[in-house]
Amino acid sequence: MVCRKSAIAAITLLFAVLVQAAPLPESDGLVHEGVASCASSICHGRVEPDVSATVWLNEYRIWLREDKHSGAYKLLLNEQSQSIATKLGIPKAHEAPECLACHTDYVPVAMQGKKFRVEDGVGCEACHGGSENWLKTHTEKAATHEYNIAQGLYPSDVLPERSELCLSCHLGTESKFASHEIMGAGHPRLSFDLQAFGVNQPYHYEIDEDYRNRKATYDDVQTWLSGLATQSRLTLDLMAGPVFQGSALMPELALYECHTCHRPMNGNHWRTDPKYAASLPSGSVRLNDGALQVLIVAMEVIKPSSATAILDGINELHSASLQSKSDVQKQASMLTTVIRGLELELANKIYAPEDIVLLRKHLLRAASEGEFSYYNAAEQSFFGIETLSIARGDSELAEKELDHWYATMVDENRFDSTVFAQVAGTVLGVFQ
């Protein structure tokens, strides 16, 4: 399922801040004091935002009432979760590490402070890091953002760190993963786009002047593109690591494009994809390269030499996928090195209005010519086009067409790539 964005974020200026790669909150080795430590009415638990303060101070209320993360544990008690657990032979979803890992702030018992409650689901410290060393000091005037980070606050303002944080649950890692077995038992397929999901998570902060003075900020297009590169790299990392190994014969199927296997048998979908024909003959099971395909098309505009390098790398990866698991792992690992450098480059590049228009046209043309014929790539391309239109400020010009395009892909079980391409053509027609 994809969600449409609800808000229009203003373009913000960029202040690049260099921070050393931080450990994810789940493994920061700090005591997580618990949501209740942040939630008092004189701290982050006010009813209304305090516009005179540096931060709103009603973050807890927003999280509790509007943000799905606060209900992530409770979800494990519902019927769908119980049914998943039963099929997997797990007695209780809400006690199973396989589920708690992404549905709570999953830190070892020794790292759970006095007020820590597993029931709080994905609480503040699951994203902001264990507050052991900064809870008391972060409100002091002298406590700069850099100081707080040195005390263990997670740099969630910085790219690619923010992507790595979100994707640790929205894609998975070596230590927590929604496998094909879990999905087969009824877990939804995971999809992600940093900018689209960032907008869909109810804002509990405002990027105003004082925020810009303290923290790194990025505009929508920077966030989208850098996020896409990080998502591509982390997907490849999983293919390069032990998760991919799967059982003796089959690799981990959740790292493949689900819809190469799961689709109706009528409708004549049998085809080759011209850009990848050399490495993926019809009938091959395709590794999930949805984010990578969209990244390539964007790089064709931004930096053609990178587009070629990534396309070559993916073709090698697909060829390797017809050979052996170890060939896939070698190739995936090589390709991550090509992409790693792009994450910062894309986050720091300035995209002028005419660049945005060009990027959108090129992506829409690719979509209308049938390049994103598999669902994952189609969905990923939709997120990008929507971001570009919001950033350009003219999405209302094609509101009807964008809604229609969205409708062609809202249900992955009925996705028809021909219709998706046709409607992409009508959107392109409006924005030409």
Interface with ligand HEC (CB under 6 A): 3, 35, 38, 44, 55, 59-60, 63, 68-69, 71-72, 75-76, 80-81, 84-85, 88, 93, 96, 98-99, 101-103, 122-124, 126-128, 156-157, 162, 165-166, 168-170, 172, 176-178, 180, 182-184, 187-191, 197-198, 200-201, 204-205, 211, 215, 253-254, 256, 258, 260-262, 285
Nearest by Cα to 223 from 2, 5, 406: 5
Nearer to ligand HEC, 193 or 401 (CB): 193
- Distance of CA 338 to CAs 190, 333, 343, Å? 25, 9, 10
Burial class (CB in 10 A: 0-12, 13-18, 19+), 6: exposed
CB of 392 to ligand HEC, least distance (A): 22
Rounded Cα distance between 72 and 430, Å, is: 40
- Distance of CA 13 to CAs 9, 53, 194, 358, Å? 12, 22, 18, 21
CA contacts within 13 A on the Cβ side of 245:
5
End-to-end CA distance of the chain: 28
CB of 187 to ligand HEC, least distance (A): 5
Nearer to ligand HEC, 9 or 357 (CB): 9
CB of 316 to ligand HEC, least distance (A): 20
Amino acid (one-letter) located at 28:
D
Q: What's the CA dihedral at 224, 307, 317, 378 to 10 degrees? A: 50
CB of 226 to ligand HEC, least distance (A): 13
Nearer to ligand HEC, 53 or 407 (CB): 53
C-beta separation of 244 from 326 below 8 A: no
- Non-local CB neighbours of 176 within 8 Å, separated by 6+ positions: 98, 101, 102, 106, 168, 169
Tokens 């996705």 map to which residue? 415
Nearer to ligand HEC, 94 or 392 (CB): 94
CB of 143 to ligand HEC, least distance (A): 12
CB of 32 to ligand HEC, least distance (A): 11
CB of 256 to ligand HEC, least distance (A): 3
